[in-house]
Amino acid sequence: MHDRISIDSKICHGQACIKGTRIPVAQILGMLANGDSIVSLLKAYPSIEESDIHACLEYAALLAEEQVTPIEELAPTA
């Protein structure tokens, strides 16, 4: 995944993108979530490979595993 996904503050405002492109990972994931197939994505973006799409999915899976600790509201002090 690390050789296919890049994060650069100068490209797409620092969003994770497919390396060597300005195609955000979120865009690929959104299209898959909306029912687009891998084949249709490869036709729409001829500069990417199936391995790039799998790297996007792997990246999303890693983010989903992150443990997030919510900040509890502070009780008003009297």
pLDDT of residue 74: 57
- For the chain, list residues with pLDDT below 50: none
Please tell me the distance from the alpha carbon of residue 59 to that of residue 44, in angstroms, as a whole number: 21
Q: Are 25 and 8 in contact, with CB atoms under 8 Å apart?
A: no
Q: Which domains does the chain have, with CATH numbers?
A: 5-59 (1.10.10.10)
How does the average pLDDT of the chain come out, rounded? 90
Please tell me the distance from the alpha carbon of residue 27 to that of residue 53, in angstroms, as a whole number: 11
pLDDT of residue 3: 92
